[in-house]
Amino acid sequence: MENFTHNIDIRSELKFEKLLTKEALDFLLELHQKFNSKRQELLVERVNRMKAYNAGDLPSFPAETKNIREQDWQASATPDDLQDRRVEITGPVDRKMIINALNSDAKVFMSDFEDASSPTWENMMNGQINLKDAHNNTIDFSVGEKSYKLGANPAVLKVRPRGLHLVEKHLQVQDEPLSASLVDFGLYFFHNIKERLSKNTSTYFYIPKLEYYQEAKWWSEVFAFSEEYMGVPKGSIKCTVLIETITASFSLDEIIHSLKDYIVGLNCGRWDYIFSYIKKLKNTKSFAVPNRDQITMETPFMDAYAKKVVQVCHRRGIHAIGGMAAQIPIKNDDEGNQKALEKVKADKLREVKNGHDGTWVAHPALVKVAQDVFDEYMPEANQKDNIPVLKAIIEADLIELPKGYIDEQGIRKNINVGLLYLESWLMGTGAAALYHLMEDAATAEISRTQLWLWLQQKAQTMEGKECQKDWFQSLIDEELIAIKTYVGAERFEHGKFTLAKQLFTEMIFADQLDEFLTTKAYDYLT
């Protein structure tokens, strides 16, 4: 069913008239006409660069921007309500999560339209309504005898739109889908900027999956146009950029410079970073990666990346935010729960000592754990004045191969968790609690990419077994049986595990690595 309104076709029977007003659609149409073709050019450039990496080229610091890296300059000022970002909580855009996260005592809540959300039409549009209600303090939620409402001192709200590679198929112009980035950004900005400015604050964003500084420049141009369109002061928008691709780490100064009127920080999106590392370097001579659990923030290439983020951010006067603690409470197992909390503390201690100004958690129960560590070692609101004196991080440091091994247990874990997450995403849930961790799309991306790589390489496990298609197929079948036990027979029979198996198997057995799992699976969402 199509509704031809203002040149944008709403390809759903659910019209969300109060959200998709004539004025809002007019704004989305302007964004589409001015910026979508350039977005497509940037995606073509990604493809061209990927061809070069596949031919053996390596990422490098851009020669044409050497002066930007060497000159002294700083980004624009950070607003007062973003000076203290010691603990940020992240999660999807569903109503209950938004209330609980805003009430969690975290300094910031990053509400995520991307990796923590399954982009069904209802999820995306209801998410916008939920955020609007949160700003208007009209958000509440009831289930059974439980009710939820906003507390007196909610966290500062930031929003992560979907990445440049994604589209919103339910909104089209002449059979061309709108950019999901522009839809998520555009609707949130349009409906909330005036109200936020009236409260002496603004709309704050997290920008995901940038690969090159030219993409940051695109966002800067989107922001500048949007401010002018809405008649608000320049710099009303502020953003933090997720550094979650290996290529972005080679142009940190350039990304900040491209967004210097708007940027307030960089964040270490470490799970997606590992996925990108494998994807970009997979054809490098002697390239190999061990089990996923063996790639930690102490692994040399990850350690170099995190420290470089701190160095560059503080030199440019912005926050460096650490990575995610994905643990969730382990009920009825005090010993197991304590071990998990100790891992979180050690992770946050390493970050604050490295110079990070804040960190991420996925569950409200971890807010105080992380906060206590940062309060002890960083008593001020941030440590942006601390520019670590370390040896220069060179190109080789950022791509150093990790040490470790592959074993059958690691293969099985990738299959099991990859299938469980993909099925959850297909069912409309993008933040999945699996084995006491809150997983998002990055988990499935790492899992299927490692499996694909090991098959292509015919890698040897430490047990002396060669990675082969027939063996992996038998492991998939066995892990599905284990999954049925884990979720229960009824949940298994009424879920989408058959489709998840089909898609997951196709991707790990493909001759060429699929760029993103979510673009392939999006066709199956409504």
| Gyration radius from the chain CA atoms | 22
What is the spatial distance between Cα 293 and Cα 291, in angstroms, rounded to a whole number?
Answer: 6
Q: What is the dihedral of CA 477, 439, 355, 75, to 10 degrees?
A: 120
Q: Are strands 238-243 and 140-143 parallel, antiparallel or unpaired?
A: unpaired
Active site (catalytic) residues: 160, 440
CA 53 from centre of chain: 23
Residues 6+ apart with CB under 8 A from 124: 93, 113, 117, 168, 183, 184
Mind giving me the DSSP string for 255-290?
HHHHTTTTEEEEEE-HHHHHHHHHHHHTTSTT----
CA 429 from centre of chain: 15
CB 407 within 8 A of CB 110: no
The three-point CA angle 469-422-114 to 5° equals 130
Q: What is the dihedral of CA 196, 90, 347, 316, to 10 degrees?
A: -40
What is the spatial distance between Cα 39 and Cα 410, in angstroms, rounded to a whole number?
Answer: 37
Q: In what order do the strands lie in the sheet with 8-10?
A: 4-5, 8-10, 167-173, 176-179
